[in-house]
């Protein structure tokens, strides 16, 4: 689908335009925010006290019956766009952020992999956290995101009863790519923002980090 869905929205409400900033007023009047590539969600307007969030990915085996090993990872960048750390299946913890498990097949209901973020504990040197989903050894196994079934990523407020903030469906936009930079958390003077990226590519975790 290639967009974020937040809450439920009334049929008469307009869909926000690309690259629009969404504040608390627009959320109250619109009800749902369909964030397209390039849109920005100010988390301080969702909840000024929002601190603990979960970035989760889920998927199912594809239409051909193969198990796909999708890996959720987070690349932490400083103000000059250099990598400070990468949280992934082989290195699951850093200050204020952790990956809880590595699901190798996508079996089971609900979220398959989760990255928990305590926004207050992220080092002040970190300006951006880029979240990615990558098919493990996708090029070698000739597996692509276009063949993954029911793949999605969502952002959840873990302080308010596991309240889902937004969701991004990956399955229909994957094509022959093996990785997607789907979103990033960006630190601003007023707090954190959630940016929709949706940048698909042929890459693995190593090459994603090396591009910076």
Bigger pLDDT: 166 or 17?
Answer: 166
pLDDT at 104: 53
pLDDT at 72: 94
> Is pLDDT at 103 greater than 80 in this prediction?
no
Q: Give dist(CA 112, CA 96) in Å, integer.
A: 21
Bigger pLDDT: 11 or 116?
Answer: 116
CB atoms within 10 A of CB 39: 22
> Is pLDDT at 176 greater than 60 in this prediction?
yes
Bigger pLDDT: 17 or 69?
Answer: 69
> Which segments of 100-200 does DSSP mark as H helices, in order?
138-141
pLDDT at 92: 96
> Is pLDDT at 180 greater than 60 in this prediction?
yes
CB atoms within 10 A of CB 164: 14
pLDDT at 201: 95
Q: pLDDT band at 119, cuts 50/70/90?
A: very high
Q: What angle do CA 23, 185, 204 make, to 5 degrees?
A: 140
pLDDT at 74: 98
Q: Which two tokens stand for residue 28?
A: 């109250």
Residue whose C-alpha is closest to residue 207's, from 105, 91, 73, 107: 73
Bigger pLDDT: 209 or 56?
Answer: 209
pLDDT at 146: 87
Query: Average model confidence (pLDDT) for the chain?
Result: 79
pTM beyond 0.95: the answer is no
pLDDT in tens, 22-75: 333 333 333 334 566 777 889 988 888 899 999 988 887 666 667 788 899 999
Q: Is 96 in contact with 117 (CB distance < 8 Å)?
A: yes
């Amino acid at each position: 689908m290639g967009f974020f869905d937040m809450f439920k929205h009334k049929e008469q409400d307009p869909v926000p335009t690309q690259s629009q900033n969404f504040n608390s007023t627009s959320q109250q009047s619109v009800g749902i925010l369909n964030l397209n590539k390039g849109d920005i969600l100010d988390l301080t307007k969702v909840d000024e006290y929002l601190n603990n969030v979960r970035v989760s990915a889920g998927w199912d085996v594809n239409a051909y019956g193969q198990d796909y090993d999708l890996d959720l990872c987070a690349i932490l960048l400083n103000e000059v766009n250099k990598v400070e750390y990468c949280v992934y299946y082989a290195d699951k913890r850093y200050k204020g952020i952790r990956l809880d498990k590595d699901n190798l097949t996508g079996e089971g209901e609900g979220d398959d992999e989760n990255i928990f973020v305590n926004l207050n504990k992220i080092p002040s040197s970190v300006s951006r956290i880029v979240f990615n989903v990558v098919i493990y050894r996708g090029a070698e196994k000739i597996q692509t995101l276009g063949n993954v079934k029911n793949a999605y990523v969502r952002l959840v407020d873990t302080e308010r009863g596991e309240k889902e903030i937004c969701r991004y469906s990956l399955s229909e936009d994957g094509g022959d790519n093996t990785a997607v930079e789907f979103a990033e958390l960006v630190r601003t003077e007023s707090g954190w923002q959630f940016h929709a990226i949706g940048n698909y590519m042929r890459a693995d975790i190593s090459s994603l980090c090396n591009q910076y």
